[in-house]
Structure 1
Amino acid sequence: MDWDKLRIFHAVADAGSLTHAGDTLHLSQSAVSRQIRALEETLNTTLFHRHARGLILTEQGELLFDATKSMNKRLEAASARIRDSEEEVFGELKVTTTTGFGTIWLAPRLSKLYAQYPDLKIDLMLEERVLDLPMREADVAIRMKEPSQADLIRKRLMTVRMQLYAAPDYLASAPPLETIEQLVNHRLICQNPNSFQVAAGKALVEHLLTYEVPSLLTVNNYFGVLQAVLNKLGVGILPDYVVEDFPDLVRVLPDITSGDVPVFLAYPEELRQSKRIAAFRDFVQEEIQETRRNTRLIA
């Protein structure tokens, strides 16, 4: 099968338009159309339904598009390995982690990484969905549980716990909070127990809700919880790594804590020799060590 025709087919399927694909490929619409017709003749099938508003893949087209997507990801992986054979750390690095960890802990520290490697281009993807690393949806992940996918190199970074925090100004004007029963006199800020979150965090939320707290604010990520706490809306359930960057927060009800949440860094086996991965891994480990030293000083 002609690789060039497959490349053009992939661009058309991805864009949904001959014109847009032609712009991407720097080809005329007629040239793109000829290549698609030639591929359909070779395969003796129709790959697109043609409509006035664009192109829609047929069932056979969907099958071929799945194949070209897999090929494209493998080519990208090979290209990354070739680029990483050089000594310099440069190029795109796709990093995925949760919204909370990415916004509260990781993003504020990236200036240090850029200072070391100014030619690095980081694509930071923050979401609770677990991306498929072997299929190169991302290059490296920081996850709040041990990855279950095969063919991944994984390293345990640290352990996190969810605890209760409040702003000093809030506590100064709020009713006393010395026992868990007094939580009913405060607004609880937390993730909705039905939203995606680590099991330990969910268990803590569910436990506290058994005390029938009358005022509740739920947010679907810890960054939102943190903002609400900083703005004195109530008492929030937050990961303990917030202590270093927000040392003025006061931990309340210190006996109330979640179970341990392991934090792992993972990346595909095929990127074992990637200098970009190594640079990011070493940076994260060094920052965690610095966090631990600062936290001990705060304590």
Structure 2
Amino acid sequence: MDWDKLRIFHAVADAGSLTHAGDALQLSQSAVSRQIRALEEALDASLFHRHARGLILTEQGELLFNATKSMSRDLETASARIRDSEDEVFGELRVTTTTGFGTLFLAPRLPALYAQYPELKIDLMLEERVLDLPMREADVAIRMKEPSQADLIRKRLMNVNMRLFATSEYLRANGTPAIVDDLSDYRLISQNVTSAQVSVGSQLIRELNARPLRSTFTVNNYFGVLQAVLNHLGIGVLPDYVAEDFPELVHVLPEVSSGDIPVFLAFPEELRHSRRIGAFRDFVVQEIQAYRRARQLQP
């Protein structure tokens, strides 16, 4: 079977459009169309239903697309292994994690990784949706629960707890709550309970909102919560790791905390020997160890 035609078919099936596939392949629409017709003739099968809104795979097309997806994953894996030399770490690394952890913990620490490996090209995908690592939607993931997908290497990194924080300026102006019932006199800042978040975090927010609060402010991610707290809007529900990078935050009501949220790093078994993933894993582990040491030194 003609490999070039399969490559073009895969691009069309993935894009659902001859035009978009042509743009990706730097081919004209007519050239792409000719290759698809030639492949259909060689297979004596129709691979697409043509509709005004685009192309839809036929049953035979679905079978072939499943095969080309598997081929594409295998080629990506082989390419990654070839590019990973014995002495250097370079090339693209697709990392997925949650918006909160990615913006508040990981991204601020990445300059140290780039300083060590300046030729890395990290594509950081911040998603609450769990991407499919075995299907190579990403190379490595940091998630707030143990991954359930098969054929993954996983490492538990740490536990996170949701706690209450405010700025000293806000507390000077409004006083510091001594007990949980005092929150009724303050503005509570949190994620909206309908936002994507870990269940124990949502549970804590529900419990706090069950009280007769004077005022509230909700936002759909922890970065927004942090910005509101840093601008002295109120007392915010935030992951405890923010205290390390934002010393102006004051931890209030220490008895108020969510349950433990486990943080796991995972990547496909087939990428076990990737030097880029190894370098990223070691970097994250070192940063978390440094974070833990800093917490132990705090009064």
TM-score of the superposition, structure 1-length normalised?
0.93
Contact 2:204 2:258 in 1 (8 A): yes
TM-score of the superposition, structure 2-length normalised?
0.93
Could you tell me how far 1:191 is from its partner in structure 2?
1.5
Write the distance in 2 (CA, Å) between the matches of 1:171 and 1:251: 11
Look up the match of 2:112.
112
Look up the match of 2:229.
229
Write the distance in 2 (CA, Å) between the matches of 1:211 and 1:72: 54
One-letter amino acid of the counterpart of residue 201, structure 2: G
Could you tell me how far 1:12 is from its partner in structure 2?
2.4
Look up the match of 1:64.
64
Write the distance in 2 (CA, Å) between the matches of 1:176 and 1:90: 49
Write the distance in 2 (CA, Å) between the matches of 1:251 and 1:29: 60
Equivalent pairs: percent with the same residue?
Answer: 70
One-letter amino acid of the counterpart of residue 4, structure 2: D
Check 1:23–1:222 CA distance in 2 against 1; reply closer, same or farther (3 A cut): closer
Could you tell me how far 1:50 is from its partner in structure 2?
4.1
Write the distance in 2 (CA, Å) between the matches of 1:181 and 1:18: 62
Contact 2:49 2:58 in 1 (8 A): no
Look up the match of 2:157.
157
The number of equivalent residue pairs is 298
- Could you say what secondary structure the match of 1:211 adopts? coil
Look up the match of 1:179.
179
Contact 1:193 1:202 in 2 (8 A): yes
Deviations 1:107-136 (A, max 9, x none): 011000000000000000011111111111
1:266 paired to 2:269: no
Contact 2:158 2:262 in 1 (8 A): yes
Check 1:65–1:251 CA distance in 2 against 1; reply closer, same or farther (3 A cut): same
Check 1:297–1:66 CA distance in 2 against 1; reply closer, same or farther (3 A cut): same
Runs of 4 or more above 6 Å deviation: none
1:123 paired to 2:161: no
- Could you say what secondary structure the match of 2:101 adopts? helix
Check 1:58–1:279 CA distance in 2 against 1; reply closer, same or farther (3 A cut): closer
Could you tell me how far 1:33 is from its partner in structure 2?
2.2
Check 1:16–1:260 CA distance in 2 against 1; reply closer, same or farther (3 A cut): closer
Could you tell me how far 1:16 is from its partner in structure 2?
4.1
Superposed, which structure 2 residues align to 1:1-299 within 5 Å?
Answer: 1-50=1-50, 55-60=54-59, 61-299=61-299
Write the distance in 1 (CA, Å) between the matches of 2:196 and 2:95: 20
**RMSD across aligned positions (CA):** 1.9
- Could you say what secondary structure the match of 1:223 adopts? helix
Check 1:27–1:207 CA distance in 2 against 1; reply closer, same or farther (3 A cut): closer
One-letter amino acid of the counterpart of residue 125, structure 1: M
Q: Gaps spanning 5+ residues in structure 1: where?
A: none
Contact 1:271 1:277 in 2 (8 A): yes
Deviations 1:231-286 (A, max 9, x none): 11111011110111011111111111111111111111111111001100111111
One-letter amino acid of the counterpart of residue 160, structure 1: V
Deviations 1:46-78 (A, max 9, x none): 333446x77412433344334323321222122
- Could you say what secondary structure the match of 1:118 adopts? coil
Write the distance in 2 (CA, Å) between the matches of 1:89 and 1:217: 44
Write the distance in 2 (CA, Å) between the matches of 1:210 and 1:296: 33
Write the distance in 2 (CA, Å) between the matches of 1:272 and 1:145: 21
Write the distance in 2 (CA, Å) between the matches of 1:48 and 1:91: 35
Please identify, of 59-68 and 241-250, the stretch whose mean Cα deviation from structure 2 is larger.
59-68
One-letter amino acid of the counterpart of residue 295, structure 1: R
Contact 1:48 1:55 in 2 (8 A): no
Could you tell me how far 1:210 is from its partner in structure 2?
1.8
